[in-house]
Amino acid sequence: MIFTSSFFGIQKEEFVKMFQVSIQFGAILAVVVLYWKKFFNFKNFSFYIKLALGVLPALILGKLFDDKIEAVLEKPMPIAIVMIIGGVILLFIDRLFTNPKVHSEKDITIWQAIRIGFWQCLAMMPGTSRSAASIIGGMQQGLSRSAAAEFSFFLAVPTMLAVTTYSVFLKDWKTNSIEQKGYEMIMATQQNITMFVVGNIVAFVVALIAIKFFIGVLQKYGFKLWGWYRIVAGIGLLALIYAGVIK
C-alpha cells in the first residue's frame, strides 16, 4: 500500500494513513467467513483464550513502539530491502523445520500461542509480512505448515480488529492542525465514506481469494514461491526507486 500510494502520487496525509489501516477490517471479515465454524464454536473456549493471549504481545509492543518504528522505516527504500531479505529467509525456511509435531489448532498450547504472538510482532517493521512472521513462528513452535498458516489467519482477526478499532475510534489524527478521530475523518465527506466502504469491500473479496489460494500453494510448494516473489518484487521496487518513479 505504501508503494502503491507513492507510485500514484497519493499524498501521505492522515486520512490516507488511517484508510490503509482501517480497510484491513474487510480482510478480517473474510477470515471469519471462511472459518466461521471455528470462530463461532463457543464450546471450544480454549480457542478464544489462545487468540486473546496470542494477540497481547502485538497490542503491548505495538502501542509502545509501532509509531516510532514507522517514523524511521516507513519509507520505500528500507521496505524494499526488507522484502528482499525476507524473501531470502523464505527460500530456506522449509529446511529448518522438517519435523512438525502439531497438525491442528486444538493441539496448540497456550504458551505456543503466546510465543507465536511475539513472532507476529516482527511485522511492526514495514515490509515484513505479518502472516509470514507468525507462520514461521508457528513452525518454530512445532506446527505443520498448514496448521501454522491457519493459526496465523486466526490470530489476524483479534490483531487487525484491535488495530482497526484503535485507528478509527481511539487514535487522534492531526489534520490541518486539528485533531480528529478516524471515524470523524471518514464521515467528513461523502467521498471519504465511499472510499472507506469500497476499500473494505475490495479487501474482503481479495482476502477471500488470497487465503484459499495461499493455503493450497503453501501445502503443495512450501515457501519458495513466496520467497522468490518477495525477492523479485523487492528488486523491482529498488529499480523504480532509483529510476525516480517511486519517491
Which of 22, 75, 59 lies closest to 182, judged by CA? 22
Which has more confidence, 73 or 112?
112
The overall average pLDDT reported for the chain is 89
The residue whose grid cell reads 513466496 is 226
Alpha-carbon separation of residue 142 from 55, 104, 214 (angstroms): 19, 11, 20
Which has more confidence, 161 or 222?
161
Which has more confidence, 2 or 61?
61
The whole-number average pLDDT for the span 53-67 is: 87
The pLDDT-based confidence of 73 (bands split at 50, 70, 90) is low
Q: How far apart are the first and last CA of the chain?
A: 14
Q: What is the pLDDT of residue 118?
A: 96
Rounded to two decimals, the pTM is: 0.87
Res 70 pLDDT > 80: no
Q: Where are the domains of the chain?
A: 2-242
Distance CA 163, CA 154 (A): 15
Q: Which amino acid is at 143?
A: L
The pLDDT-based confidence of 72 (bands split at 50, 70, 90) is low
Q: What is the pLDDT of residue 52?
A: 96
Distance CA 61, CA 73 (A): 16
Cell of 223: 515457501
100-125 tens-digit pLDDT: 999 999 999 999 999 999 999 998 88
Radius of gyration of the chain (CA): 18
Which has more confidence, 40 or 127?
40
Res 235 pLDDT > 90: yes
Distance CA 174, CA 206 (A): 31
Res 80 pLDDT > 80: yes
Res 196 pLDDT > 90: yes
Res 155 pLDDT > 90: yes
